Structure 1
Amino acid sequence: MSRIAQAFDSGQWGVIASASVKVVLVTLTLPLAACGAGGFSLEKAEVDRSIVTSSAPSSPAAPAVADEDSDQTTIGNAVSSADIRELGGQAVPWANAGTGSRGAITEMVELKDGGLTCRRFSATRESFDGVALFKGELCLAEAGGWRMQEFKAL
């Protein structure tokens, strides 16, 4: 007979059984005792305000608006400096190293109305927040500089 079988045959079964009963009773009574003593409650839990991280900006909309304004200026500079006659309908690529955005300017047309010179265009903007299409109009001001008249997302 094996040693395990001999241990059970020799009357130690009662010792093993009483020990396992004790373990089961302790396992069941400890959680109940914790609940009865007040235990953990989500209603009593409070937010730990001492933990501070800088992983997310406090106002996420502000940088997005600043990035779009910076990209608008970059697109305006590309439109104003383009030689439309030499382009022959080709797209003008643009990139803004400050924001990481890039895209292409297409459908650029120069219009002259009563002495006012304007350029209408379409532009794509690829950035970390997605891809967007814009329509815009840039006009030559009296002082000789270009001014963005319209720039809207489609």
Structure 2
Amino acid sequence: MAAVGFSLAGCTSSMDLFGGVKRVDRSIATGTVPVPASSGVTLSDETTVRNAVTSADLARLGSSSVPWANTATGSAGVVSSIREARNDGHVCRYFTTTRHSYEGIARFNGQACLTGTGDWLLTAFDRL
């Protein structure tokens, strides 16, 4: 008798035993989530990376890496390479860094250039 009960239980899940009409639940809506624009968190990390890259003494650094950490966001990373060159008459530093954050680990290529007023401007920060 128990075997019959189990076999019938499997068959009843797809059968309409009570004569009800199947209804579609239209109260639930789905969609894609838009990609957020650059947040203050990302900009804060970019500023921290720019400061690490532009304050590095390249003559003493050699091929060593430069660690950075942003206490405001909890993100951290390592600048693995920095190369300085002239770009359209401006001194620029090209670099590669990682960013370890609550979103995961990512690599970036970037560029910071010295402006005419003596400030460093981050002109590229692209996720790889």
Partner of 1:106: 80
Note the C-alpha offset of 1:65: 2.4
Note the C-alpha offset of 1:67: 1.3
Question: Matched residues in 1 for 2:67 and 2:120: separation?
Answer: 19
- SS of the counterpart of 1:142? coil
TM-score normalised to the size of structure 1?
A: 0.58
Partner of 1:133: 107
Q: C-alpha deviations, 1:104-142, integer Å up to 9, x for none?
A: 001100102453100000010000010000000000000
Aligned positions, number: 101
Question: Matched residues in 2 for 1:94 and 1:105: separation?
Answer: 8
* Structure (1 or 2) with the greater strand fraction: 2
Considering only CA atoms, is the larger Rg found in Structure 1 or Structure 2?
1
RMSD of aligned alpha carbons:
2.5
* Structure (1 or 2) with the greater helix fraction: 1
- SS of the counterpart of 2:97? strand
Note the C-alpha offset of 1:92: 0.1
Indicate whether 1:96 and 2:73 are aligned: no
Q: C-alpha deviations, 1:53-90, integer Å up to 9, x for none?
A: xxxxxxx947x722111100000011110001101110
Question: Matched residues in 2 for 1:113 and 1:73: separation?
Answer: 21
Mapping 1:5-154, distance limit 5 Å: 61=36, 65-113=39-87, 115-154=89-128
- SS of the counterpart of 2:79? strand
Moved over 6 A (4+): none
Structure 2 residues not aligned, in runs of 5+: 1-24, 28-34
Q: Which has the higher contact order (CA 8 A, sep 6+)?
A: 2
TM-score normalised to the size of structure 2?
A: 0.69
